[in-house]
Amino acid sequence: MGEESKITIGNKPLIDYIVSLAILFNQGIRRIIIRGSGDKISKAIAVYNALKERMGDAVKLNDVRIGSENRRGRMVSYIEIVVEKVL
């Protein structure tokens, strides 16, 4: 039922996020948002790059959103990378 899902990048090894993404796509999720904020922004992009390298044309970049949000009174930058499974 859920066509969209979100993965927030944290401290786990990069490969763990690739595995999670692959599982979600296999479960029928079509669109996944890879979200990283603060010092996890570059890791979010690294996750996307590693996913793209492994899945190639089976996955496509749908959108990249950037911005900042207030977190406990401090402005923190974020990135949201929207990837879609190509049917």
Nearest approach in angstroms of CB 61 to a copy of itself is: 8
Which of 3, 1, 9, 8 is CA-nearest to residue 62? Answer: 3
- Judged by CB under 8 A, the number of residues near a copy of itself is 19
Q: What is the dihedral of CA 16, 25, 66, 14, to 10 degrees?
A: 10
Site string for a copy of itself, 11-50 (x = CB under 8 A): ---------------------------xx-xx--xx-xx-
Continuous segment of H or E residues that includes residue 64: strand 59-71
- Residues in touch with a copy of itself (CB under 8 A): 38-39, 41-42, 45-46, 48-49, 61, 64-68, 75, 77-79, 81
